Each structure stands twice: as C-alpha cells, then as structure tokens.
C-alpha cells in the first residue's frame, strides 16, 4: 500500500542525540528540555542505539539504578531499527508495528537524517491509527474515538 507520503516529508530533522557515555540523568534532562520521548545514541558520530522514556522508567527507575551514575551505553536498545528517508510512510508504519516501536530513526547511507514517530504518521494519516495502536496505552476503540475528533 502506498500513502503518497515519503518519510522525508514528515520526519523531524531536528533529532536529539547523545554520546554513549552520557548519564541517564543527562538524557532525561535532554528529553525534558527538548520535549521528546527518545534520544538517538551515537558512537563516534554514528547512530548505534536509541533510548526512550520507557527505557528510562523500566531499565533504570524500576530497577532502582542511580540515574546520575548509570550511563546510557548499558541501557539503550542497541538493536537500532531504522528506515530510509525515501520510503513510503506505510513502510515505516509496518516496520514500527512489526517491531513494536514508536520511534523510528531515519538513516540514509549510514547518516542519521531524521526521526519519525507514530504521532507523526497519525498527524498525516489519522485513519491508520488502528495499525499504529500496536503499543499504545489506548486500546483500538479508544484510539479510534480520539482520532475521529481531530
């Protein structure tokens, strides 16, 4: 299925990044300041992982690890799933749904060029909300009702 929208048309180009030695406390403050739910982790300027708000809660706070001492390298998901900017957003949506992720880095030729989230896709194609409800705290019926109001 083609939506007619390419990833590069809706991706956020202002991607928040941090080096792998950054502490979780610094990551949390960066997320707060930038008002984002994820940070791409770099090693020698190459994207190697991602850390999300859920990672901070589940892998640091819930495990009672000290966020001032815990570095992101041991917490970030290093199985970095990404997409190319020229792909259709339907491909991004399928990849996100199958991988059960909400934040999808956009990488062209090994270089981080953007990030796309489920919210970005729903803003453009709200009727796709059913397919994106994969990991939402809303069930499918609640999500449908919410996006019918938009």
Ranges of each domain in the chain? 7-148
For all residues of the chain together, what is the average pLDDT? 85
The continuous run of DSSP H or E covering 104 comes out as strand 103-108
149 has a pLDDT exceeding 70: no
Which numeric CATH code is attached to 7-148?
Answer: 3.10.580.10
Q: How far apart are CA 84 and CA 62, in angstroms?
A: 34
Least-confidence region, from 34-48, 49-63, 129-143:
129-143
Q: How far apart are CA 3 and CA 49, in angstroms?
A: 28
Q: How far apart are CA 107 and CA 115, in angstroms?
A: 8
Q: What is the pLDDT of residue 146?
A: 47
Least-confidence region, from 22-26, 94-98, 118-122:
118-122
Enter the pTM of the model.
Answer: 0.80
134 has a pLDDT exceeding 50: no
In the chain, % of residues over pLDDT 90:
61
123 has a pLDDT exceeding 90: no
| Band of pLDDT at residue 93, cut at 50, 70 and 90 | confident
- The arithmetic mean of pLDDT across residues 46-65, rounded, is 93
């Amino acid at each position: 299925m083609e939506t007619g929208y390419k990833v590069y048309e809706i991706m956020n180009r202002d991607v928040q990044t941090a080096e792998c030695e950054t502490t979780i406390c610094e990551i949390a403050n960066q997320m707060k300041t930038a008002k984002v739910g994820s940070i791409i982790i770099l090693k020698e300027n190459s994207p190697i992982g991602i850390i999300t708000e859920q990672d901070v809660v589940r892998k640091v706070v819930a495990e009672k690890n000290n966020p001032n001492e815990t570095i992101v390298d041991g917490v970030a998901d290093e199985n970095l799933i990404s997409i190319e900017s020229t792909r259709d957003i339907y491909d991004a949506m399928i990849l996100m749904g199958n991988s059960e992720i909400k934040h999808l880095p956009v990488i062209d030729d090994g270089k981080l060029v953007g990030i796309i989230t489920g919210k970005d896709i729903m803003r453009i194609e709200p009727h796709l909300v059913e397919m994106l409800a994969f990991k939402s705290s809303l069930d499918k019926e609640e999500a449908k009702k919410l996006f019918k109001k938009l």
